[in-house]
Amino acid sequence: MNRIHIILTVGLCVAAAGLILALQADSLATNWQRTETGNGWGGVTDPALQQTYYAVGLVGLCFGLALVALAAWRWLAGEPRIPRRAVPQ
């Protein structure tokens, strides 16, 4: 596995984790408690914590996508070619 595949895999994992964190920020910032009747769950969401989870998720998503773009650019550009000197005869 070369560096391009490693960077691509890490970028996809970080982007996926950031997306999940950003999309689930509301649930993660909620203090879940059992209802008084015991038949369900309810809770209070902390808006500051929700915004923090959302911001961290977006930063992770952007960083992951930047890694994916870097790996794609490196793959498309190819390895740098060093010109060989002609051997005098």
Q: Please check whether residue 64 lies inside any domain of the structure.
A: yes
Q: Please check whether residue 36 lies inside any domain of the structure.
A: no
Q: What is the pLDDT of residue 37?
A: 80
Q: Please check whether residue 39 lies inside any domain of the structure.
A: no
Q: Please check whether residue 87 lies inside any domain of the structure.
A: no
- Answer whether 64's CB lies under 8 Å from 22's CB: no
Q: Please check whether residue 11 lies inside any domain of the structure.
A: yes
Q: Please check whether residue 16 lies inside any domain of the structure.
A: yes
Task: Give which of 46, 8, 12, 15 is closest to 28, Cα–Cα.
Answer: 46
Q: Please check whether residue 12 lies inside any domain of the structure.
A: yes
What is the pLDDT confidence band of residue 73, given thresholds at 50, 70 and 90? very high
In three-state form (DSSP H/G/I as H, E/B as E, the rest C), the secondary structure along 24-70 is CHHHHCEEEEECCCCCCEEEEECHHHHHHHHHHHHHHHHHHHHHHHH
**Span 54-61, average pLDDT:** 97
pLDDT of 82 above 70: no
Range of the domain at 26: 3-31+45-77
Instruction: Please give the model's pTM, rounded to 2 decimal places.
Output: 0.76
pLDDT of 15 above 90: yes
- Answer whether 68's CB lies under 8 Å from 12's CB: yes
**Total domains in the fold of the chain:** 1
